[in-house]
Amino acid sequence: SQQGEEDPQALSIQEGENATMNCSYKTSINNLQWYRQNSGRGLVHLILIRSNEREKHSGRLRVTLDTSKKSSSLLITASRAADTASYFCATEMGYSTLTFGKGTMLLVSP
């Protein structure tokens, strides 16, 4: 089944540094979404990027999408300890259900 695969699985950085997470998928998509999960609780939506878009920004977040390479990246700039969480990409084909990747665990140390 369609699934995003995040890379790296885990990332540890210092406050103020940038964090980059990547997501690869297998087949054509309608959109790709990024979510954050704190301490195994509910997921919070971060950004949705559609297949005809190449880049989107939201505050300190920047998402790119390369449909030719079937990949996306999430950049968090000037990271904070509060950014510590797991980050998941999710892909949607057509208007069907979302399929989630395995996630990247981000640790931001003060």
> With respect to another protein, which residue has the nearer C-beta, 48 or 75?
48
Question: Which residues contact residue 59 at a Cβ distance below 8 angstroms, ignoring those fewer than 6 apart?
Answer: none
72 binds another protein (CB under 8 A): no
Phi, psi (deg, nearest 5) at residue 8: -80, 170
Compute the distance between CA of residue 30 and CA of residue 17 in angstroms, rounded to an integer: 32
Determine the residue type at 101.
Answer: G
One of 21, 71, 79, 101 touching another protein (CB under 8 A)? 101
Complex with another protein: residue 8 or 16, whichever CB lies closer? 8
The footprint of another protein (CB under 8 A) covers 3, 30-31, 33, 35, 40-45, 48, 88, 90, 92, 95, 97-103
